[in-house]
Structure 1
Amino acid sequence: MQNFWCRQLGLAFVVFAMIACSAPVQRHDHLAQPAAIASSDQFWRHIDAAGGHDWFHLLNGSEEALAWRLAMIDSAHHQIDMETFLWKEDEAGQKILAHLLAAADRGVQVRVLLDDSFTPHQDLVLSRIAHHPRIQLRVYNPYGNRSGGMLSRMVFNLDDFLRVNHRLHNKTLTVDGWAVIVGGRNLADEYFGLHRDYNFRDMEVLAMGSGVASVSQHFADFWNSGWSVPVEATVFIKEGDEALVRLRQKLAAAVGDVQVADDTELGERWREAATGALPGKATLIADSPALEDPSREAPRQLAGQLVELINAAEKDVVLVSAYLVPTAELSDAIAQARARGVRVRILTNSLRSNNHLAAHAAYSGYIRELLQEGVELYEVRVDASDRQLYMRSPVAEKELGLHAKFMLFDFDRIFIGSSNLDPRSLELNTEVGLLIESEAFNSELRAAIAIDFEPANSWQVALDESGHLQWRGLNETLHQSPADSEFQRLEDWFIGLLPVDANM
């Protein structure tokens, strides 16, 4: 017993020593770089002429979303700006990296802004990427102590918790100042239907037109923030000229040689997309980066605008959010919408499909309130009958979760972006999205998601005649949350007792 307590005290000493020794992270001063502006290439001008207006192409399917991301990178002639919350070293992540390297090799300037949440054990690959002379990589709001995995990082940075709890959740890709992808997908297999066990239903939009400039400026604002730190100043792994060689060797072994189509083939693909896309007007809705201290600057610009959009709705609102934990302002907006007679439908994750148990535990406390207000509430089935639409075959042993973040307001406006409807997105993290005014695009999106609300693909949560919760499926009705085990329900109940809402 004495040895046990000695070991525990020794471990505690090591932890506190590492906390005490972690270097405080300061704002990084660097010269401001301008936002990308539309280049004068005939390649893009011919595509612009084919569209003839601001246009939008829905990236509904996972395979198409990855294919268009690679095509955008391959189409770049001058500059690529990419920001993301998560970037894994798996099939999808390595394909994207390989195409970025190929773009940089042919002279394209590449800027990548990556949040520091999911970078444990990635310092080596990040440092190797940054060795390319035409790739700049910055890490947003980096951890002071970078030891170990995610849990270790949180423990070793407890003295700086309020700062590191603020994260960049933005997801955009901008090419040559002409085209953008905005939406919910991170850069990993599960967001593109390639994971062997569990994949997400997600949503993005590919856009060209006047809205692109605002996305470019948004990226530049974050890129120039003092909290966007060059990876060279964050990661202390030093390799010589062999760093890039080793990276290329690893990518070649994983994904093979990159085959880039010529401008003629790429141009034809773009013109086909432009002529089949839908017109509309895009307005950027986004949070601003932290200026002086992330621990004291709540990024709530986007949250306020989303509430205003709900308040302005007259007939119909559809809210799709992977994680649903309504803030007080959001709860009031939904309640007032129902009081005005506005139909409100919500699609979110079930206990079984949610990849963050704590997020579901926090959400479960709001279910009854939403139903009593007359909200039509649906939860994604992990065994959705049509899940093959969002993942690579075979799908029999694979499960589905929801990761999409978009909203429809009446029949002429849509928001597609990175923001969930929870306090973490609305009050802690930075988020970005496009408000698109277009009856045609609204109609297309409604048609695309109709299948997600069908009883074979989602549970409708309701109150029975006695006021008890029930989950109605295609051929069955459950009287408790769909779960993979009773233990999962017990975990959900226990976590729900904890004051976790504010960090969800």
Structure 2
Amino acid sequence: MNLRAPQAACPTFTAWRWLALLTLGAWLTGCASLPSEVDRPVSTALANPEQTRIGNAVQQRAARAGTRNDSGFALVNSAELAFTSRMALINAAQKTLDIQYYAIHADETTERMFDALRAAAARGVRIRILLDDFNTAGKNAQVLKIAFEPNIELRLFNPLPGNRRSLFFRILGSLKDVDRIQRRMHNKIFVADNAVAITGGRNLGETYFGQGEGTNFVDADVLAAGRIARELSHSFDQYWNNPLAYPVQSLMTRDEIEKIKPPSRAAAAAAPPVAAAQAPDGPSVQPTPASPAATQGMRTTTAPDGTVSVIEPLPDSTNLALLDWTWAPAVLLVDKPSKIAADADDVQQAQDTTVDGLLQLMSQASGDLLIVSPYFVPGQRMMDQFAAIRQKGVRIRVLTNSLASNDAPAAHIGYARYRKELLALGIEIYEMRAEQKGSLTSFGSTGSSGSAGGSRASLHSKIVVLDQRLLVIGSMNLDLRSQLQNTEVALAIRSSKLAGETIALIEPAMARGAYKVELLDGQLMWRAPQDSKLADTRSEPDASTGLKLMLKLLGPFAPEEML
């Protein structure tokens, strides 16, 4: 998820309460500040990855493949594999683990991963975690405690000053620097021994691994080995050693983090009401014994229609050597960390961002362009490029979120402005259906009882497939925020095989898990997914009256670069 425009305020707030909040915010603005003298020891990625088990296995697999390509890839096409592949890399690492994310959520799934990280650190693995600071308030502040473990370093990128009890008050306390705080490090990188990496759209947390009890994200990653993994590590080093990366210890103590720890679910339930309100060839990694968190029994979730589904605990690991690895030419697209500090106008004039590179690739399409972007706010410049691509006769298909499935409804406002124009250009649009389960088994499938948590799905994958031969997968959305404000990372892989595998995952999702939007007599029509037994509709499907009203009221006024 990106930092998006604030949602509408609760109507129960009175004017004097808002005045009090703004007054407090002004006071916090004057008081909160970041430390000026910070000790940031410079460190870099492992120099000789081939001397580790993982690096040696990569070299052996490349030799057996008999290829000149120096990078190998395997699609991570399910939530289960997304979790177990990361666990496999943690378990197999001998020297280093470099982990860079926009968000890490404090929950049982993350704690299982952190347990594995602690075990790796205990056997001598150097662990560096670089986390964007925006989502480290409230419950999620507890993930920062891992910075105080031996052999583990955690730095926060572009931090917000002030108390971490509440994200709302942290934002209020940073109003004097609003241009900076809305620019976030959105990169997602996970590298073991500078030899094998994972990148894509996922953050870390149960909703990204099919374990959420409500909405789960439909996402995609790719495992990358060899030279491209080393390039990802080099990118990590640039961010890690940047002046905007603050060691946690320079911002908080362990005691301060502990003091803002929210009560456990059991404690909150037992507390009196008033108190509660206050309150590519990976190594041959064999599955390890299940952790206590994995053996606590099944959890259940109940859908709005009363259907009860079981959330099965994820396995602890997977054997990466058994995956289908493809060796192919690839290019790393990555923003420089200086993009966070740059003026948006300077960024646009430079035209060297990850999204700009992606747009340049897209302009080379000659036959077919398949786009998956959960937040799709093209802007006029991108629209002009789409028009030029269509003039060449290229078929363009876009899968994005519907208003109901979008976890950031404000982003839908910017997309809705261009929907009719996109359709008029002949671009095919599919919007993800919300009322389906996030998938553990395949991209965008509705799953089955016992295979996934939650009863709703929200698209979070960021994928472009060009002419069925070039696959681009990463953290970027096709919107102005990714283009001008956030830093992003992506891999462009030239492989008909990987492109075909990805298309085979996406097309069924469009057919059976998404509404096809059409323009009929100048008005929008949503065609129901195949075999869904749903009716076509002329209004935003599955969306509440409140969401539809928000779209109409805020649509004409919200600035696109903020969505």
TM-score normalized by structure 1?
A: 0.88
Distance 1:369 1:338 in 2: 13
Moved over 6 A (4+): 4-8
Which of 286, 303, 320 in structure 1 is aligned with 2:334?
286
Q: 2:426 aligns with which of 361, 368, 374?
A: 374
Amino acid at match of 1:23: S
Q: Write the deviation string for residues 41-92 of structure 1: whole angstroms up to 9, x where unpaired.
A: 2453134313435321111111111111111111100000000111111122
Aligned mates of 1:256, 1:387 — CA distance in 2: 21
Q: In structure 1, what is the Cα distance between the partners aligned to 2:377 and 2:340?
A: 28
| Deviation sequence 1:97-156 (CA, Å, 0-9, x none) | 111111111110000000011100258634421111200100000002234322221112
Preserved CA contact (<8 Å) 1:226 1:291: no
Instruction: Write out per-residue CA displacement over residues 145-189 of structure 1, whole angstroms, 9 at most, x where no aligned residue.
Output: 234322221112101111111100000100001100010001011
Matched residue type, 1:472: R
| AA of the residue aligned to 1:399 | R
**CA separation in 2, counterparts of 1:150 and 1:57?**
37
Q: Is the 8 A contact 2:88 2:320 kept in 1?
A: no
Matched, 1:492 2:548: no
Q: 1:238 to 1:421 in 2, by over 3 A?
A: same
Q: Which stretch shifts more, 389-398 or 201-210?
A: 389-398
The alpha carbon displacement at 1:270 in A equals 3.2
Unpaired runs of at least 5, structure 1: 242-251
Give the counterpart of 1:50 among 48, 54, 61. Answer: 61
Aligned to 2:392: 340
Distance 1:150 1:112 in 2: 21
Assess, with a 3 A threshold, how the Cα gap between structure 1 residues 24 and 34 changes in structure 2: closer, same or farther.
closer
2:475 maps to 418
SS at match of 1:211: helix
Given that residues 193 and 392 in structure 1 are in contact (C-alpha distance below 8 angstroms), is that contact kept between their aligned partners in structure 2? no
Check if 1:40 corresponds to 2:99.
no
Name the CA shift for 1:124/1:255 in 2 (closer, same or farther; >3 Å). farther
**Alignment size in residue pairs:** 481
After TM superposition, the structure 1 stretch with the greater mean CA deviation from structure 2, 327-336 or 161-170, is 327-336
In structure 1, what residue type is equivalent to 2:23?
Answer: F
How do 1:431-446 residues align onto structure 2 when only pairs under 5 Å count?
Answer: 431-446=488-503
Query: C-alpha offsets along residues 354-394 of structure 1, whole Å, 9 cap, x if unaligned?
Result: 11110111111110010000101100111348956466844
Give the AA of the match of 2:166: G
Query: Residue 436 of structure 2 contacts residue 455 of structure 2 at CA under 8 Å; is this kept in 1?
Result: no
- Contact kept in structure 2, 1:171 and 1:418, CA below 8 Å: yes
Are the counterparts in 2 of residues 126 and 231 from structure 1 also a CA contact under 8 Å? no
Determine the structure 2 residue equivalent to 1:249: none
SS of 2:252's partner is coil
CA shift, 1:460, in A, is 0.5
Q: Does 2:175 correspond to 1:158?
A: yes
Closer, same or farther in 2 for the Cα pair 1:436/1:23, shift >3 Å? same
**In 1, distance between residues paired with 2:473 and 2:325?**
16
- Check whether the contact 1:82–1:173 (CA below 8 A) recurs between aligned residues: yes
With structure 2 as the length reference, what TM-score do the two structures score? 0.80
- Give the 3 Å change call, closer, same or farther, for CA 256–81 of structure 1 in structure 2: farther
Q: Is the contact made by 1:346 and 1:376 (CA closer than 8 Å) also made in structure 2?
A: yes
Identify the range of structure 1 (194-203 vs 276-285) with the bigger mean alpha-carbon deviation: 276-285
Deviations 1:246-300 (A, max 9, x none): xxxxxx875679x999xxx97xx23322xx3222112110100028935566485
Counterparts in 2 of 1:134 and 1:255: CA distance versus 1, 3 Å: farther
- The match for 2:236 among 198, 201, 219 is 219
The within-5 A match list for 1:24-423 is 24=34, 28=38, 30-37=40-47, 38-52=49-63, 53=67, 54-121=71-138, 125-238=142-255, 254=293, 269-273=319-323, 276-290=324-338, 293-294=341-342, 298=347, 301-384=353-436, 387=439, 389=441, 393-394=449-450, 398-423=455-480
Q: Which amino acid aligns with 2:59?
A: D
The secondary structure found in structure 2 opposite 1:113 is strand
Alignment-mate amino acid for residue 50 of structure 1: R
CA–CA distance in structure 2, aligned partners of residues 434 and 389 of structure 1: 23
**Between 469-478 and 129-138, the greater mean CA deviation after superposition:** 469-478
Kindly tell me: are residues 156 and 313 of structure 1, through their superposed partners in 2, closer, same or farther at Cα, counting changes over 3 Å?
Answer: same
Q: 2:517 aligns with which of 444, 461, 469?
A: 461
Matched-pair contact (CA < 8 Å) for 1:27–1:227: no
8 Å Cα contact 2:96-2:126 kept in structure 1: yes
Measure the CA separation in 2 of the matches of 1:5 and 1:350. 34
Distance in 1 between residues matched to 2:543 and 2:474, nearest whole Å: 30
Alpha-carbon spacing, 1:5–1:420, altered in 2? closer, same or farther (3 Å): closer
Amino acid aligned to 1:161: V
CA contact (8 A) 1:166 1:295 kept: no
Alpha carbons of structure 1 residues 47 and 214: separation in structure 2 relative to 1, 3 Å: closer
The alignment partner of 1:195 has SS state of coil
Which one-letter code corresponds to 1:118 in the other structure?
N
In the alignment, what sits opposite 2:280? none
Q: Is the 8 A contact 2:216 2:438 kept in 1?
A: no
What amino acid is the match of 2:498?
F
Deviations for 1:174-230, whole angstroms, at most 9, x for unmatched residues?
Answer: 000110001000101111111111111101001112211110100001101100110
In structure 2, what is the Cα distance between the partners aligned to 1:6 and 1:503? 27
> Which whole-Å CA distance do the structure 2 matches of 1:307 and 1:118 have between them?
29
Greater shift in the superposed pair: 97-106 or 127-136: 127-136
Partner residue in 1 for 2:306: none
Gaps of 5+ in 2: 1-13, 259-290, 297-313
Deviation at 1:15, TM superposition (A): 2.6
Residue 17 of structure 1: CA displacement?
1.4
SS at match of 1:365: helix
Question: What are the Cα deviations for residues 374-415 of structure 1, in whole angstroms up to 9, with x where unaligned?
Answer: 101100111348956466844696011100001011121111
* Per-residue deviation, 1:496: 1.0
SS of match in other structure, 2:503: helix
Give the deviation of 1:502 after TM superposition: 1.0
Change (3 A) 1:292 1:322: closer
Answer yes or no: is the 8 Å Cα contact 1:483–1:489 preserved in 2: no
| 1:492 CA drift (Å) | 1.8
Identity, % of aligned positions: 30
Find the residue that maps to 1:333 and give its secondary structure. helix
For residues 176 and 199 of structure 1, the distance between their equivalents in structure 2, rounded to whole angstroms, comes to 30
Compare 441-450 and 101-110 and name the one that shifted more.
441-450
- Matching residue of 1:20: 30
Per-residue displacement from partner, 1:330-369 (whole Å, max 9, x unpaired)?
2222111101111100000001111111011111111001
CA distance in 2, matches of 1:355, 1:292: 24
